[in-house]
Amino acid sequence: MRTYVEFAKKAIQNNIVYRVNSYAGIINTIVMIFVNIAIWRAIYEEEATLEGLQFRLVITYIVLSFLMQSIFVMDEYLIQYKVRSGSISTDMLRPISFLGYVFSHNIGVMLFRIIIQLTPALLVAIFFVKILPPFSPLIALYFAISVLLGYLVLYSINLVVWLTSFWYFEIFSFITIKDAAVMILSGALLPIWFMPNWLYNLVQITPFGSIYSVPISIYLGQLPETEIYTKILLQIIWIIVFQVIGRLLWHCAQKRIVVQGG
C-alpha cells in the first residue's frame, strides 16, 4: 500500500511542476462557471422558471457539474504511452500491480486538482454565485460518497478504453467517442431532466448517469432516501462490471505481451 501512496505523491509533485497549467485550469473552471450562468440567466430571465424548475436549482447543478469535472480529469494516455514506448515491459517486471500503479497515479492527479483547482473555484461558487447548500449533513455525506463512486465509475470506464492500447496503435478516436458519450449522457453539460422521456429513461439505466447526474441529484434533494440507496448500489454495480471487464482485458493483454516478446 505504501508503494502506491508514493506513486500518488509523485503524481502530485509532477503536477506541481507545471504551475502555469494549474493556474490556467483554475481560471478556466471559474470562467466556464460564469459563462454558463450567464447563458442560463438569459434563458430563465432572472428568477423565472422553466418547466417548473427554479433558476438557482439549475445554476447549482451546473456549478456542481463543473466543479466535479475539474477533479474528474485523468491521465488518458498513460497506458498508451507505456505500450508505445515499450516501458510497459519494465513495469510488468516490477513486484507491483501495474493496474494499481495506474489507479494510484490518477488518484494523485485528482488530489492535486482538489487542492489547487477545486478549492478556489468552490469558494467563488459559495460566495459569489451563492449555490444552494445541501439539505442536511446526511445528504452532504451521501453526496460525498456518491461523488467518490461517480469518479470510480468514470475511472473504470476509462480503464477499459485505455487497455485497448494493447491492440490499437492509437486510441484517440476511442477516447473522443467515450468523452462525447460521457459529456452528453452523464448530465455533465445539461441536466438530464431536460432530456426527452425516452432518453431520460435510457440514461437512467446506463453507467453514464451514475457519474454526474446521481451525485448532483442527491445533493439537490431530488431523490428520496430509499432511492439514494438504490442509486448508490447501482454505482457500485457499474464499478464492479467495468472493473471485471478491465481485468479480463488486462489478462488478455499480458498474454499478448508474452507472445510478442517470445
Collapsed DSSP state (helix, strand, coil) of residue 186: coil
Question: What does the pLDDT read at residue 47?
Answer: 53
Helix H or strand E encompassing 132: none
- Least Cα distance to 25 among 64, 67, 61 occurs for 67
User: Which is higher by pLDDT, 216 or 11?
Assistant: 216
Q: Note the pLDDT tens digit of each residue in 48-82.
A: 555 545 778 888 999 999 999 989 999 999 999 99
Q: Which helix (H) or strand (E) holds 191?
A: none
Digit-coded pLDDT (tens) for 29-57:
888 888 888 888 777 765 555 554 577 88
Task: Report the percent of the chain where pLDDT is more than 70.
Answer: 93
Q: Rounded CA gap, 138 and 65, in Å?
A: 20
pLDDT tens, position by position, 173-214:
999 999 999 998 998 888 888 888 888 888 888 899 999 999
Least confident of 10-14, 76-80, 130-134, 230-234: 10-14
C-alpha to C-alpha distance for 78 and 84, rounded to whole angstroms: 10
Is the pTM for the entire model greater than 0.75? yes
State the pLDDT confidence band at 159, using cuts at 50, 70 and 90: very high
DSSP per-residue string spanning 38-104 = HHHHHHHTTT--BTTB-HHHHHHHHHHHHHHHHH----TTHHHHHHHHSHHHHHHHSSS-HHHHHHH
| b/e code 204-214 from CB counts within 10 Å (16+ = b) | eeebbbbbbbb
Q: What is the pLDDT of residue 49?
A: 55
Grid coordinates 497515479 are at which residue?
Answer: 105
Residue 261 confidence (pLDDT): 45
